[in-house]
């Protein structure tokens, strides 16, 4: 089994990290996250610097103490979030070579997120795996825009790496205690630009890499070709992260392409909205066609008296101790316990899926 060394931890790969954007996974405690077998979560520096703010988190002892989560924490730089916010509505901000200028919703105050500032924030929060700020584009953007994004992402990565080294030096961080730092490979659908970006980032000495840009097309199909090309540009000893991949079948397909790290809000959001994950049979082959997987919708009258588990072999509290009928009852009563238990089920499904990929890999 492949492992990523992070400080004192050996993180087995592949790994799925639920999004804990603001420092928590909705409806779950840190103990719940542990109990479903998670080792790491993805938080977001861009959002946390606004709510509750870095000074508040630092006053409460850093992210781990603040959140109660003592597993690993990877933090996103905010490149993707700023891009999606600004793309949605240019009045929220703009990008220039210095960094990302944005106006938080409902605020007149202008904020500037630079590559240096993003690293300073992630360091001070106590993140275990940092991500360098990138200039994210849409796959459909013009070649000129993709070129500008790659040039800017490389320039920002160099500045982020310099700041990272400064932080290590000023904090006198021991080599065994240093957090890891990942760079993001942009370039849209242009293979030569992806290559330029990957080569430039490799020279800077990052510990791992991320696939930049949204990995799905408008119909939610994986951008298989460019995902495969991008993976082939990075030597196998470096892990590569597929940001935003959480659909179980997409995750397996990306794993088969060589991606080993995943984060997504989908499994937890699906759970809250009544879409539960299930294997069609126990120990069925995890092949590319995805027939091993199905959605099970809780809001189905057939669940009223259903006893058997949501997914065969699932060890979550619902499947191992309760009935689907009881979960259906909680859902119908709009009780908060429904969201917690459903989220634990979908996350248990993800950790069991990852466990199988680790054992087969
Ligand atoms: Zn379950």
pTM: 0.96
Q: Which residue has the higher pLDDT, 329 or 91?
A: 329
Tokens of 154: 């490389």
Please tell me whether residue 63 adopts helix, strand or coil conformation. helix
Angstrom distance (rounded) from CA 134 to CA 286:
34
Residue 29 burial (CB count, 10 A): 14
Top pLDDT among 321 and 1 is at: 321
Sheet-wide strand order for 15-18: 15-18, 261-264, 240-243, 208-211, 180-185, 129-131, 72-76, 40-44
Quote the pLDDT of residue 106: 66
Q: Give me the pLDDT at residue 240, please.
A: 97
Give the Cα separation of 212 and 180 in Å (integer): 18
The token pair that represents 312 in the structure block: 């065969």
For residue 276, report the distance from its CA to the centre of ligand 1, in Å: 9
Neighbours of ion ligand 1 (CB under 5 A): 310, 314, 316, 318-319, 345
User: In the chain, pLDDT over 70 holds for what percent of residues?
Assistant: 99
Q: Is residue 149 pLDDT above 90, yes or no?
A: yes
Instruction: Please answer whether residues 352 and 315 qualify as being in contact, where contact means their C-beta atoms are separated by less than 8 angstroms.
Output: yes
Cβ pair 201, 157 in contact under 8 A: yes
pLDDT band at 76 (very low <50, low <70, confident <90, very high): very high
**pLDDT for the residue numbered 109:** 82
Give the 3-state DSSP-derived string for 267-334, with helices as H, strands as E and coil as C: HHHHHHCCEEEEECCCCCCCCCCCCCEEEEECCCHHHCCCCCCCCCCCCCHHHHHCCHHHHHHHHHCC
CB atoms inside a 10 Å sphere around CB 216: 15
Domain boundaries, the chain: 2-264, 271-360
Ligand 1 geometric centre to CA of 69 (Å) = 22
Q: Taking 70 as the threshold, does the pLDDT of residue 361 lie above it? A: no
- Residue 102 has a pLDDT of 86
Band of the pLDDT at 123, cuts 50, 70, 90? very high
Tell me which architecture the domain covering 2-264 has in CATH: Alpha-Beta Barrel (3.20)
Mean pLDDT (the chain, rounded): 95
CA of 322 to the centre of ligand 1 (A): 10
Cis previous bond, 215, omega within 30: no
Specify the pLDDT at position 107.
Answer: 74
- In 3-state terms, what secondary structure has residue 44? strand
Residue 170 pLDDT: 97
pLDDT at position 75 is 98
Ligand 1 centroid to residue 333 C-alpha, Å: 20
Q: What is the mean pLDDT of residues 324-339?
A: 98
Calculate the CA 140 to chain-centre distance. Answer: 23
Q: Is the CB of residue 19 less than 8 Å from the CB of residue 265? A: yes
Tell me the three state secondary structure of residue 357: helix
Centroid of ligand 1 to alpha carbon of 38 (angstroms): 15
Average pLDDT over residues 153-179: 97
Residues acting as catalytic residues: 76, 263
Residue 90 has pLDDT above 90, yes or no: no
Range with the poorest average pLDDT among 218-227, 232-241, 265-274: 218-227
59 CA distance to ligand 1 middle (Å): 38
Residue 147 has pLDDT above 60, yes or no: yes
Residue 218: other Cβ atoms inside 10 A:
8
Q: Tell me: pLDDT of 108 over 80.
A: no
Tokens standing for residue 75: 């933090």
User: How close is the Cα of 339 to the center of ligand 1, in Å?
Assistant: 13
CA angle 195, 198, 199 (to 5 degrees): 85
* Spatial distance between the Cα atoms of 26 and 48, rounded to a whole number of angstroms: 15
Q: What is the pLDDT of residue 204?
A: 98
* Percent of the chain surpassing pLDDT 90: 84
Question: What per-residue confidence (pLDDT) applies to 38?
Answer: 98
pLDDT tens readout for residues 3-61: 999 998 999 999 999 999 999 999 999 999 999 999 999 999 999 998 999 999 999 99
- CA 265 to ligand 1 centroid distance, Å: 18
Alpha helices in the chain (DSSP H): 30-35, 45-48, 54-59, 63-67, 79-88, 115-125, 143-170, 191-204, 224-232, 248-257, 266-272, 317-321, 324-332, 336-360
């Amino acid at each position: 089994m492949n492992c990523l060394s992070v400080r004192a931890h050996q993180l087995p790969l592949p790994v799925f990290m639920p999004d804990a954007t603001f420092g928590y996974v909705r409806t779950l405690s840190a103990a719940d996250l542990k109990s479903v077998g998670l080792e790491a979560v993805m938080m977001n520096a861009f959002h946390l610097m606004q709510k509750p703010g870095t000074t508040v988190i630092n006053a409460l002892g850093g992210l781990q103490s603040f959140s109660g989560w003592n597993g690993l924490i990877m933090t996103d730089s905010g490149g993707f979030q700023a891009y999606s916010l600004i793309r949605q509505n240019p009045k929220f901000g703009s990008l220039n070579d210095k960094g990302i200028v944005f106006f938080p919703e409902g605020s007149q105050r202008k904020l500037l997120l630079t590559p240096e500032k993003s690293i300073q924030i992630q360091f001070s929060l106590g993140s275990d795996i940092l991500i360098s700020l990138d200039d994210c584009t849409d796959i459909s953007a013009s070649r000129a825009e993709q070129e500008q994004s790659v040039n800017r992402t490389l320039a920002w990565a160099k500045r982020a790496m310099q700041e990272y080294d400064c932080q290590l030096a000023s904090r006198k961080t021991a080599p065994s205690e240093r957090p890891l730092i990942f760079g993001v490979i942009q370039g849209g659908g242009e293979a030569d630009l992806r290559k330029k970006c990957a080569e430039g980032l490799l020279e800077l000495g990052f510990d791992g890499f991320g696939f930049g840009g949204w990995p799905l097309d408008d119909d939610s199909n994986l951008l298989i070709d460019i995902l495969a090309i991008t993976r082939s540009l990075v030597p196998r000893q470096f892990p590569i992260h597929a940001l935003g991949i959480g659909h179980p079948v997409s995750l397996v397909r990306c794993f088969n392409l060589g991606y080993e790290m995943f984060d997504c809000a989908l499994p937890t959001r699906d759970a809250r909205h009544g879409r539960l994950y299930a294997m069609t049979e126990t120990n069925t082959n995890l092949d590319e066609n995805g027939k091993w997987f199905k959605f099970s919708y809780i809001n189905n009258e057939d669940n009223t008296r259903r006893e058997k588990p949501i997914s065969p072999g699932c060890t979550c509290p619902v499947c191992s101790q309760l009935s689907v009928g009881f979960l259906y009852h909680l859902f119908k009563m709009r009780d908060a316990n429904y969201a917690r238990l459903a989220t634990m089920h979908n996350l248990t499904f993800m950790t069991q899926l990852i466990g199988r990929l680790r054992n087969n890999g």
